[in-house]
Chain A
């Protein structure tokens, strides 16, 4: 279970303080598929980066299965990112000079899997997301956007994370491919009982999720 209490994040920039998140409260059950919508600049990405321990909140708490991740040491946060969280990005963010297979194996390495077992597990994951054997050995620049996003989903799922955080995972794809990717995420959350929080601009997609949170100026409105 994910419980966020009074989460506030402000950035100090040249033009003064920006409050990206303002006392956000939300709860997501384990295995739930939730979507986050909101205008550009409303704080969606900021919320995900707090949940994924990519940045430190200004105040408030984030409890994942009873542990406040904002209070963890740097090393524990790194381990949390490696084992409990899976990230899917709008721009895929695969390592360009590693093959699809090596990209997934990299996440397995950070998750602490012994090196001998990594290859089999990575191949399995890539097959599950629908990548052909020869595509698995290609480097990202030689894969289509949809294929790259599949690889990044495989990478996110690698260490059986408790939560998958997806920031506009379909934002760079045509609507048909986007639907397929979304279905894939949906299917996996069911079979693996993974909690998913996905940011999207597509109301169609948002409508299919278990719950939708709407952000406006750093506040939850629904």
Chain B
């Protein structure tokens, strides 16, 4: 028997109370650990987001198929490509196929949102569908066909099919093979939803702009609007729509993330007011901002749980010391020093904390993953769904990608338990035990041994 073993023995003296204390401690330590994990995961993601090197250049005033303006020209594309620090570029011309342009049926229903947007269609869709079709412009026609109209099918002519994918990674081809964006053949990649709706497979043909086009592959992005579209080589779309040289968006990659700002300002000077320029880092700012607020929420969680844990141990030990006043007096009366009594109570507090932290750390390891996910999704779902809530719209390259980027960035937060996090969690736990035992220790030193002679 020594101070430590007496302390451990005392910790188990009233199993019910000790159990309750251990449980409360375990919960707060579990919270501390999972919050630390969430925080470091989020911090890592913020760093990654801020390191984006993509830039999107689109004609001033055009946003997918709304707004108006003049497409970019091949001269402007050349200017962009020649700008310092730009590593690569891909150009896209987006267009929409109306019911009279193709034998395909759209895979998307209007829904109430789509129908509402249609009320502008008779006057505005022609502005974006440039050279296209006349029937829609006739007032008589529009009034009779309005309710029967189906959504347009989005066509993206691009030099790089991969640029259509939502997050800048390679386009996911599920069947067949990708196409060469620099070709001028009548070939296409078809989104999986559109393919299903029209029973298209690799080698099938369909009609668009009066030409017969061969399906080379089927792609799937998981995004319904994208998967209801068609991707063709840029030159093919430009000639089919009689828009030679026209481009509705350019995706450029900067050689390093530190040059993004200087490239953006260089492009703003060279392209002037004819183009709108957005960088990936800028777009990531939305997600970075919300990630940052989640990170500070997690930090507040760590601090709160630490305080809660310390208060639990503190109150428990104060309670125990008050209860054992007389016993402490006895120990002092028979020659035990204050130091020994304090040592014994510290050992008791440590025992409770150690048991609590073993359970708590195990709990933390188990819940840190789901905790990170739910922290991230619950505090961002409102903003993400509102931006993502457009039922259809062209895969306008980076811009559409931008919204998905926000979504992706948030869900990409990785929760990994590193040794550093584990050590800091253990450190915090020790801090809890020390704070929780320090105040009772002071009480103990104040108990007079003469207390023992008082009859209760």
- Which A residues have a C-beta under 8 Å from some C-beta of B? 45, 48-49, 52, 54-55, 75, 78-79, 81-83, 85, 87, 89-91, 93-98, 102, 105-107, 109-111, 115, 155, 159, 167
Contact = CB atoms under 8 A, between A and B. Distances in A.
A89 B9 contact: no
Contact of A54 (B2, B340, B453): B453
A97 B1 contact: no
B2 A89 contact: no
Interface stretch (B115-123, B302-310, B329-337, B356-364): B329-337
A217 B334 CA distance: 28
B1 A79 contact: no
Contact of A49 (B10, B326, B331, B453): B453
Interface stretch (B41-49, B259-267, B444-452): B444-452
Given A54-B453, A55-B450, A81-B333, A93 B326 contact: yes
B327 interface: yes
17 contacts: A45-B453, A48-B453, A49-B450, A49-B453, A54-B333, A55-B449, A78-B336, A81-B335, A82-B336, A87-B334, A89-B453, A93-B333, A95-B327, A97-B10, A98-B9, A106-B331, A155-B334
A109 B2 contact: yes
Given A49-B453, A97-B9, A110 B335 contact: yes
Contacts of A55: 448-450
B390 interface: no
B455 interface: yes
Contact of B337 (A75, A87, A106, A115): A75
A95 B331 contact: yes
A47 to B, nearest CB: 10
Minimum-distance CB pairs A-B, first 9: A82-B335, A110-B335, A55-B450, A54-B450, A54-B449, A81-B335, A49-B450, A93-B330, A45-B453
B105 to A, nearest CB: 82
B335 A83 contact: yes
A109 B1 contact: yes
A87 B334 CA distance: 7
B13 A110 contact: no
Interface in B412-456: 448-450, 452-455
A115 B334 contact: no
Interface in B1-45: 1-2, 6, 9-10, 13
Nearest to B9: A97
B450 A105 contact: no
A105 B2 CA distance: 10
Contact of B335 (A78, A89, A98, A105): A78
Interface centre among B334, B449, B452 (most CB of A within 10 A): B334
B340 to A, nearest CB: 8
Interface string B312-353: 000000000000001100111111110010000000000000
B448 A81 contact: no
B323 to A, nearest CB: 11
Contacts of B331: 95, 106
Nearest to A83: B335
A78 B448 CA distance: 12
B337 A52 contact: no
Nearest to B453: A45
B334 A107 contact: yes
A106 B1 contact: yes
Nearest to A85: B335
B208 to A, nearest CB: 87
Contacts of A75: 337
A91 B454 CA distance: 10
A93 B450 CA distance: 13
A97 B331 CA distance: 13
Interface string B248-264: 00000000000000000
A102 B1 contact: yes
A84 B178 CA distance: 96
Contact of A167 (B6, B13, B453): B453
A110 B330 CA distance: 12
Given A106-B336, A155-B334, 9 more contacts: A75-B337, A81-B332, A94-B330, A95-B331, A98-B6, A102-B1, A106-B1, A107-B334, A115-B2
B190 to A, nearest CB: 78
A24 B454 CA distance: 21
Given A54-B452, A95-B327, A110 B334 contact: yes
B452 to A, nearest CB: 6
B335 A107 contact: yes
Contacts of A52: 333
Contacts of B2: 109, 115
Contacts of A82: 334-336
A25 B330 CA distance: 27
A167 B452 CA distance: 11
B14 to A, nearest CB: 10
